[in-house]
Amino acid sequence: MLPCRRKPSGGRANRNMEPIWEELYRRAAAVRQERRISPFVEAGGVAAALLTGAGNIYTGVCIDTACSLGMCAERNAIANMITNGEHDIRRLAVVMPDGQLGQPCGACRELMMQLGRDSGEIEILTDLASGASVRLRELCPDWWTEARYDC
């Protein structure tokens, strides 16, 4: 399998964590199922769940292919959200093959930043034990085109 991504973090879910983080983790874990679709395509090793401003949750799994035609779980969840008429992400949780948390890659960070002026405020779960999160703007310092929102 082609690696979907990066270093995992976190641990098992903590009962003191905000319920919405538990829900996002649970929803992502529920769709995470690694499978081989063809000799060229594998999917489901990584899953993501995002919460929108309207309070809806959208999920996605990674799709790994020959010739790099696939996509990350986060972008799949974003596509699902946009398909359903929304674009305002508030929170994101990513579940790796081992059940640990993952963080979005640069391409997914960039896509989220381009979705709206307030995208930097998106919270991404970083630690299941404590429920700690990071804001997208912290992962994208000095983002290249912030000023274009004023055009």
Q: Annotated active-site positions, please?
A: 74
Helices (H), 17-86: 19-31, 73-83
Q: Does 13 bind Zn ion (CB under 5 A)?
A: no
Contact region for Zn ion (CB under 5 A) — 29-37, 77-85, 102-110, 129-137?
Answer: 102-110
Instruction: Report the alpha-carbon distance of residue 132 to residue 114 in Å, rounded.
Output: 24
Contact region for Zn ion (CB under 5 A) — 40-48, 55-63, 84-92, 100-108?
Answer: 100-108
Q: Does 111 bind Zn ion (CB under 5 A)?
A: no
CB of 117 to Zn ion, least distance (A): 22
Instruction: Report the alpha-carbon distance of residue 131 to residue 15 in Å, rounded.
Output: 9
Instruction: Report the alpha-carbon distance of residue 37 to residue 57 in Å, rounded.
Output: 25
Q: Indicate the Cα dihedral angle 133, 137, 141, 147, nearest 10°.
A: 180
Q: Which is nearer to Zn ion, 10 or 60 (CB)?
A: 60
What part of residues 15-74 is at the interface with Zn ion (CB under 5 A)?
Answer: 72
Q: Which is nearer to Zn ion, 17 or 44 (CB)?
A: 44
Contact region for Zn ion (CB under 5 A) — 20-28, 80-88, 99-107, 129-137?
Answer: 99-107
Q: Indicate the Cα dihedral angle 94, 130, 54, 90, nearest 10°.
A: -60
> Any bridge partners for residue 49, and if so which?
59, 93
CB of 137 to Zn ion, least distance (A): 17
Q: Does 95 bind Zn ion (CB under 5 A)?
A: no
Q: Does 108 bind Zn ion (CB under 5 A)?
A: yes
Instruction: Report the alpha-carbon distance of residue 113 to residue 107 in Å, rounded.
Output: 10
Q: Does 105 bind Zn ion (CB under 5 A)?
A: yes
Residues that bind Zn ion in the complex, under the rule CB under 5 A: 72, 105, 107-108
